[in-house]
Structure 1
């Protein structure tokens, strides 16, 4: 069989649940990516907020290489040093007292939701199982997490759906107050809705959720799969808001490109996941843990977190300058280096047109829903790469406008 593969190979051998770009990246460094033809792209997508330190960061490569020469996998029949070191770092730097490792954001959320129900059953009643989530939220692709997520299109065709899940409008305190009851075991919120359009929570909303959960003996769960590990300018977004959850899910940027997820919680709540109640074969894998440990160490450096805030402003100023020329965005929003440009009514539902135009300009961006262009670059992206990337995005916007207005 030939070793030569092209984009056409995808359509011949892969399940068709994705529609990837027309080029295949083969090499990358920092925020620059090269495809099979040697063309250089600027990466403002970050693997969907995963490549927190860009591509092939030398310290992270060294951590992976060193661990690869020592120990790859032993399963959770045993523990290992990198997992214990990573868990210790997360406990030291957050509200958490206990950590559960897995492989993805969906698994971290699955563990969080199972723990919330188990804790309620242990301490209150088997009838206290309702989970309240937000419309337009996204919490993963398992049958459980996709139903907790507030986008019904992702659950269609996979029924019957799990019971006991209620959705309320995001940022609506009154709606949450009306929905929560003594049957509620958890309220789950993304501090910034990622897939739902890069929409930050109002501080008063998160504070009200905290107070309501406490009043009803429900657990407050923050899904920080996309906002975590420096993305907002703090290690986790809850620290930015000053509202502490009972359970937090983390993944994406945690491994900087190596698959790993984590659920963080308190010692008292963690007791409900006693031996045998939940598990994972790969969770806390030494390779993943060694990489994530180095990522957390680097991201936690004050200059990195301060840089995220400065780069946020550089991005926003650049996008606003583009918008002043073309008038295509009604709002630029987000926190840190999770930024969404909401297209104007003229281009409603056409965010992907801007993504495709960016590809033609050798630029990698994202969308969040049908009407938001999303940027989630490396947290240590060079200012020159931001400027060059925005120049290419300017050209992409010009192409979309020219095709639409002439």
Structure 2
């Protein structure tokens, strides 16, 4: 049990876990994951085809989701001075009514935003990491930057919850940076209704409140990215990161204080974050480790959640070597083992079109360690703050509620 979420397969997160992939602490798909949030909200608004998977959420006519990139549940708990308003909304033991959700695996932005927007698990929507192999071309596809280009609705054909809500007569809007209005990720994960772009954080939350009041039934999504950016660059133990947490705490309070009647605000995130030391024990460099490179055609994912694509015929050997080299620091699984263990969703969730995007070998960090790639991924390898795996600090995200 972790902050009210029972993680199937978890066998003591503080204990050395066996290498069996089934011992990884699974996201709470179907009851308390990001993929369950919007379906629960629109079910309460009477949108057909959805059920309320998350219990104890009272339906509201007007729902606003404020997603703060990178600000996980554990980070809010650890920084009540920087985030006094958000911390006041935490669980009952801390005087609030909030609860954690699980992000899903991998716990990374592209995956989580697709889970939020489509209401489906990663194995279904197919945005299965920071970079994955495109089975049609054999090339790595960066799903955050959408490079190389591929048709968005071919890559991710599921309709969004916003589209369904809009079709059912709910006033639906996304309020975010103007730069995100026409991106492929927005198209496949967050489209439906109207997009309103604002640069300044205060303008953004004010517009979100206005859009919430624009319909008798409303669904509004707004987003803030700089907590994540500062965490990657400087770490979550930095003044730059703390400053952003203080600022977004004020934004959340401002939005909460301006909710129109019959509204509910839900503050959440796409993942948490962990700082990784710059030493050889904590950062295993794929580009300098001949054993990890042997038999590998492509290295995908990110430091704490790797998709490893083997040359033909080498998958079993690559799996054995990665397990041997990474020992008990990572959960290391074959593609089929990871699917069977439920990493990407419950049984049957992984679709035929997404199956080949998953690595022949999948490695998820358990300890405070990453597999970097200094030559292939110099920018990513230089980051201080990391995320992607299934540990509580990365996986648990807030669901903090304010009602007007």
Q: TM-score range by the shorter chain?
A: 0.3 to 0.5
**TM-score between the two structures when normalised by the length of structure 2:** 0.33
Greater share of helix residues, 1 or 2?
1
TM-score, L = length of structure 1: 0.33
Quick one: higher RCO (CA 8 Å, sep 6+), 1 or 2? 2
Q: Which has the larger radius of gyration?
A: 1
